[in-house]
Amino acid sequence: MKNSTISTPKQKKDIAKIIARNLSFTFASGCLGGFVNSIAVWLFGLAGITALFNVQIAFTLTASWLYPRIVWGGIWGFVFLLPFFPRKYLYKGVFLSLLPTLIQLFVVFPLKANKGIMGVELGSLTPIFVIFFNCIWGITAAFWLKICK
């Protein structure tokens, strides 16, 4: 019978490398997702698509707007460590994008931005756009993880 405990320094070092790689990949994937999400939000605003639906979420593409979105995208990337849909990247991206969506709709908009629950003060279709844009984040992050592994 084999002993399955980690006993040698090499085994401990190998596990530490695997953990560091997984943390790095998930953070980087979330950052890329945050970048792609931000570009999509900016382009939709620039093209007047959000305004067409009476949703007031158009932003100017500046470093001060982009940077926190990329960093938070990276932090949210850690949810990809959860063992949901391990081989179905599209499902995983969409499913896990619901977590930051819920926080945006029920914490950030009403409590931080004072835009009402689900951001309806920005337009009644705001929740649909938030779901859509966060799906872009999730799908981008999931497929980048797939490419990296």
Would you say 141 and 73 are in contact if contact means Cβ atoms under 8 Å apart?
yes
**CA dist 125 → 14, 19, 71 (Å):** 48, 40, 26
Look at residue 114 in the predicted model and tell me its pLDDT.
96
State the pTM of this model: 0.89
Give the separation between CA 30 and CA 45, rounded to whole angstroms.
22
Summarised one tens digit per residue, pLDDT across range 114-140 is 999 999 999 999 999 999 999 999 999
Residues of the chain with pLDDT under 70: 1-7
Give the separation between CA 62 and CA 49, rounded to whole angstroms.
20
Look at residue 3 in the predicted model and tell me its pLDDT.
56
